[in-house]
């Protein structure tokens, strides 16, 4: 069985059911999209998703500092560093 240091197997979380429904809290596991990557790749390969529209900046490896600056400034949608780029 899979485990991590933040939530070992056998761990339990305790909360008030009243708070969940009264405050309209949604409880969602972090592995909720576990099986979504394969279908997403299939859609991208089929050309159904315009991936270019998601990429706002790309930098060569030696432009890593500039890429980090864009991210830290809150700029861009998706910033990518391409090790093989000129």
DSSP assignment of 15-27: --HHHHHHTTPPP
**Cα(13)–Cα(5) distance, rounded to whole angstroms?**
15
Question: Both tokens of residue 8?
Answer: 């070992």
Q: What average pLDDT does the chain have?
A: 84
Banded model confidence at residue 76, pLDDT cuts 50, 70, 90: confident
**Cα(9)–Cα(6) distance, rounded to whole angstroms?**
10
Q: Give the pLDDT confidence score for residue 30 in this predicted structure.
A: 67
**pTM listed for this prediction:** 0.47
Question: Both tokens of residue 49?
Answer: 């998703």
Q: Give the pLDDT confidence score for residue 85 in this predicted structure.
A: 61
pLDDT at 3 over 90: no
Q: Give the pLDDT confidence score for residue 1 in this predicted structure.
A: 45
């Amino acid at each position: 069985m899979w485990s991590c240091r933040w939530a070992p197997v056998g761990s339990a979380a305790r909360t008030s059911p009243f708070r969940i429904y009264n405050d309209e809290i949604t409880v969602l596991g972090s592995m909720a999209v576990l099986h979504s990557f394969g279908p997403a790749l299939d859609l991208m390969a089929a050309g159904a998703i315009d991936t270019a529209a998601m990429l706002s900046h790309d930098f060569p490896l030696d432009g890593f500092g500039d890429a980090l600056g864009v991210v830290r400034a809150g700029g861009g949608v998706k910033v990518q560093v391409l090790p093989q780029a000129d």
